[in-house]
Each structure stands twice: as structure tokens, then as C-alpha cells.
Structure 1
Amino acid sequence: MKKSQSAALVEAFALAYHAQRHFAPVCEDAAARRLFTDEEFAQLGSAVTVLLQTLEPSFSGTPEAALLRVVDRYLVPLPAARDAFLMRALKNAARIGAAQALFLGAGYGTIPLRQTEPMRRMCFYELESPSLLRDKRERLRRAGIQEPENTRYLGAELRAPDWARRFLQESGFDPRRRTFCALPGLAAICPRKAFWQRLMQLRALLALGSTVVLDYPAGAGTYTAEEMEKTLPLLGFRVCEHLAPADITAQFFAAYNAMHPGAPMAAPADVYFCVAVRKADR
């Protein structure tokens, strides 16, 4: 299994464990647990627990306590907050008339399985590497989860120069319709130049008024909030929501932390969330 696919699977495991283990989880992803057999879930739990030996060599406690610590402190804060952020933005986009939802790098995410009534009027598109997508759909089949009728899947590598052309030809996506577009984790894995190129390609794919939702690492050698605020408008997108780590913690971890005051959770200190809208070219 590719490293990126393994990381996506660990992320899905963390979300599943979080939703199963805690009251008031940061994101309500009950479907994630069904992607794993009981044996596989236990094996992944044992595997990620070993990480704590490197992260906190002095930790002493039961294997269950170690698993809880490594998930809560290191594995789940970012994907849980990202999922909650995407879901909130998607609900807003559906409410104001978005007709399509496009997930670039969908991973093992289950948002299309958790549609609210307005979302059921949309068409969902998941674009992911062919091997991960095959594995994901096999897991859904094995779990007895029916793929939503309004969801389409396309196996393609985003780094391929013709991914946008293939997507338009094979997916049924309509570039004239207002779209919600999610880029979960893309900025973290793409070289800077490639990330800006993906946004330029999206500008050509997305109708005016379409929403783009992204997260990005901030700091030396990555991106800055000022850079995003300056560059996105140049690429055809107007920034309408931009959250720093403290904002993310306040908005998405408050309910969880109120229920778990002895072990509060916070957003990663170096990741920002952003919502931008496709604007008219000048």
C-alpha cells in the first residue's frame, strides 16, 4: 500500500476511534468505523499505539491509555476539525444553491454518506488515486454500505497533467453549475507551485459563485495567511472565511472540551482553514 494511502487509512481509523470513544465528538463520523473489520481495527490500534514510544518515550500506562493519548493528541485533531469545517461549509453551500460537490483527494472520507436533505439534491464527485478508490469502494461493499446514488467516483492522480480534462470527460461534471469544492490536505502534500496550479485549473472548472474549501500548513517554508489573502484573489477567488488555529479550536472543539475538561483538545498550531468563492475575472 502506498504511504499516502496508509496515512489516509490511519486518518480514517483515528476518526472512527474518536467518534466511538468520546461523548460530543468533534465530528460525527459514525460511518468511518464500518470501513474496518474488527480484526483490522484492533491491528491498526496496536500499530498506532507504537507511535507513542517515539513521541513520548516517558509515557507509562496501559495500551488502551496509550492508544487514547496518541489518537487524541496527535492523530485526530486535524482530520476531525477539517471534517467538521467541511461539513459546515457544505451545508452552507447547499443552502444557498450549490448543485455539485467535488472532493479532490477524497481519501476515506465519508461526508457523502452523511448527507442532509439539501445535500441530496446535489451531485457528489470524489476524485482520488485509483488504488485508494478501489480499496474504499470495496470496504463500503464489504460493510454493506450502499454507495449514494448521487455520488460519482473517478480514479485519477491529481499530479497527472490531464486530470482536469479526464475529469470533465468521464465524470459528468457540469462546469456551468455552482459547485462546492473541497481540497482536504492538498496544500500539505503538493509542492507550492503545483498547489497554485491546481487552483488555476479549478478556476477554469468552477462556475462563478462556487465555493472552494481548503486547509494549509503555515510557517517557514510553507504558506502564510497574508500570502493566501493576497494570492487567492489573483487566482480568481475571494476569501470569505479564514480561520487561524485559535479560531478553529474555539469553533470546533468547544463542545468536546466542555465534556472532557480533564483532557481538552486543540487544533494543530500550524494549520489554517479557508473558504473562498469563485469571483468574476477582471
Structure 2
Amino acid sequence: MEQNMTALVSLFARAYHQKEKEVKIFEDDFSTKLITDKEYKMIGLNMSQGIHFFNPNFKGNQKEALRWIVDYQLSPSVLIRSALCKEVIDEMLEKECKQYLDFASGYDSFAYMYQHKMKVFEIDKQEVIDDKKQRCKNVDIKNIQFLSIDLGKDNWINRLLESSYQENQLSVCSLLGLSYYLTHDQFKRLLKEISRHMIKGSRLVFDYLSYQESDETRKSEALAKEANETMRTKYSFEQLKEILDLCHLKIVRHDDYRITLDSLIHYNEYYKDKPIIAPKGVCYCVAEKE
């Protein structure tokens, strides 16, 4: 069955963090259930063997190499955006939000965290959804609707509207890790279509690449290319705001590598000698339908 390697590596990063850390930036019990032991060991071995790609001057054993790669290359953006998304969902629940839409859901586990509090829609390509269902055979699933949708097709919205999604209900949408792989026009069309079918006060949370590159983002782009998943697009804040204005979306939160999250602060207080720092070149945005 076809797998999305970028999504699988993100799952590995969350599972590693869950297994290895006493204090966590993002608590994710389900990550260890969605990844197989074989995948976990394989990715860990491949990553540790490639330590000199990530850090040419590294000295240490295989276990230390893997810890360095996960903490400084794989985990930061994945964990920080997940922690931010959790904050947004929790805020929306306080406003009696009843629907959560996870676009390009990959192997995210938000659905299983929130399935008893709201209706959850997992949206991704057919092969990813099929694989996700297989992984979930031993996971309790309630109130979750899996939707096989190719967001690159012009009529993708029809599939959502034919589901149990309700346009007149407050919604929160995740587009995390998605903007990288779409052109400016594709991302604009996607946001415009989503906004058109959401009521006022609904929110979107997403991340994007800025023009402020870093060593971490360059290596992430190289890894994506190796997996045949080219990262296409970067944005300036002005470009992003122009797109959101056209889509009747206003920015209610915008962060870069200086992002502050309670869970990140607590983690770094505990692991003072080995803090996790958000990478330069990645920004995080929460937008609200006007």
C-alpha cells in the first residue's frame, strides 16, 4: 500500500517524543499505535546512519545520533505546530465548536483525541486514508468520518459537502504541512473554497515556509525531495495577508521561530541543556472567517 513518507517520518518524530521524553511538548499516545514496530526501527536506523548529512561534525553513538536528529531536525516544527493546533482546537471547543476538519491528515492523531467532543473529518488522498484505516483497526473510533479527497482536483469540495459536514456549524480546520506542496494559486483556491463553506468565526490553523531560510529548513526540503514530495512555495507575510484578505480570512495569530507555547516553555525548562527550538523559516498562522 502506498505511503506518504513525509507523513510517516512526522509520525515517527511524534512517537519518538512520546516514548523517550518525560516532559512533552505534545502529548500523543496514539502516535505509538499508528506506527508499526518495524517502521519505527527502520526509520530510526536510517536516520541515525545519516547523521553526517544533518551534522557533519557529530561525534557519538547511534542512539545519541538519533536523539540529535529527532530533537534538532525532525521534531521542532512537527511538535510545535501540533501543540499550536491543540491550543486552537481547545479554544474553539470553549466557543462550542462542533466540527474539526483535518485537511491532508496523513497520520495525525487529533481525531482520536477529540472524537468524543466533536465531529471529526479526516481528509486525504485515497491511498493515505486506506492505509490509515488499516492502522486504526485496533483503535477505538467513534464520530470520525474518513474522506478520500484529492485537494488538487477542482471539484473536491463536493465530496465534503456530500458528507455529514454542516456548513452552518462552527468549525476549526487544520491545514498543517500542506501549504509547502501547493503553488500560490493552488493554496489561494483551497483557502477560498474552504472559507466559502464556513460560517463566521470558524478558524483555520496552518504553517508555511517564509523566505527566511535556515539550515533546518534546507535539510527538510532535501528530505522531502528524496521522498518525491517537492516543497514548492514560500511566502512573505505581505503575500500571505493578501491571500487571506481575498478569502475573507483575518489573521488572529501569527508566529515565527520566536513562537511561545506553554508546553514548549515547560519542556525547555526541564531539558535545559538540550532545548527544542522552532526552526527559522517556518511560520505558524491562525486565521478566522470574517
Is TM more than 0.5 here? yes
Q: Which runs of 5+ in 1 are unaligned?
A: none
**Matched pairs, number:** 270
Which residue of structure 2 lines up, in the alignment, with residue 216 of structure 1? 208
Q: Deviations over 1:63-116 (max 9, x none)?
A: 11111111111001111001100011001011102121111111100012122x
Equivalence for 2:133: 137
Q: How does 1:185-224 map to 2 (within 5 A)?
A: 185-219=177-211, 222-224=234-236
- RMSD value over aligned CA atoms? 1.7
Q: Which letter maps to 1:203?
A: S
CA distance in 1 between counterparts of 2:190 and 2:277 reads 30
1:180 aligned residue: 172
How far apart, in 2, do the equivalents of 1:80 and 1:48 lie?
Answer: 18
Instruction: Name the residue aligned to 1:228.
Output: 240
Task: Report the alpha carbon displacement of residue 252 of structure 1 after superposing the two structures with TM.
Answer: 4.6
Q: Secondary structure at the match of 2:67?
A: helix
Match of 1:162 in 2: 155
Distance, in Å, in 2 between the alignment partners of 1:241 and 1:129 is 29
In the alignment, is the contact (CA less than 8 A) between 1:77 and 1:266 conserved in 2?
yes
**Which position in structure 1 is the counterpart of 2:271?**
260
Conserved in 1, the CA contact under 8 Å of 2:24 and 2:263?
Answer: no
Answer yes or no: is the 8 Å Cα contact 1:187–1:195 preserved in 2: yes
* Structure 1 residues 220-262: Cα deviation after superposition (integer angstroms, max 9, x where no partner): 76111233234312311111111121024x6552111111111
Shift, 1:139, TM fit? 1.1
Q: Which residue of 1 aligns with 2:218?
A: none
Contact 2:49–2:62 (CA under 8 A) maintained in structure 1: no
Instruction: Indicate the residue corresponding to 1:71 in structure 2.
Output: 70
Extract unaligned runs of 5+ from structure 2. Answer: 213-232
TM-score (norm 1): 0.91
Identity of aligned residues (%): 25
Mapped partners of 1:41, 1:259: distance in 2: 26
Q: Equivalent residue for 1:247?
A: 259
Code of the aligned partner of 2:103: L
* Cα pair 2:101 2:172 within 8 Å, conserved: yes
TM-score when scaled to structure 2?
0.88
Where 1:253 maps in the other structure, the secondary structure is: helix
Q: What's the secondary structure of 1:247's corresponding residue?
A: coil
Indicate if the aligned counterparts of 1:233 and 1:239 stay in contact, CA closer than 8 A: no
Q: How far does residue 212 in structure 1 lie from its aligned partner after superposition? A: 1.0
Q: SS of the counterpart of 2:101?
A: strand
Q: Secondary structure at the match of 2:116?
A: helix
The letter for the 1-side match of 2:149 is A
Range that drifts further, 9-18 or 154-163: 154-163
Distance in 2, Cα, partners of 1:247 & 1:173: 32
CA offset at residue 50 of structure 1?
A: 2.5
The answer to whether residue 140 in structure 2 is matched with residue 146 in structure 1 is yes
Counterpart AA for 2:167: P
Matched, 1:89 2:88: yes
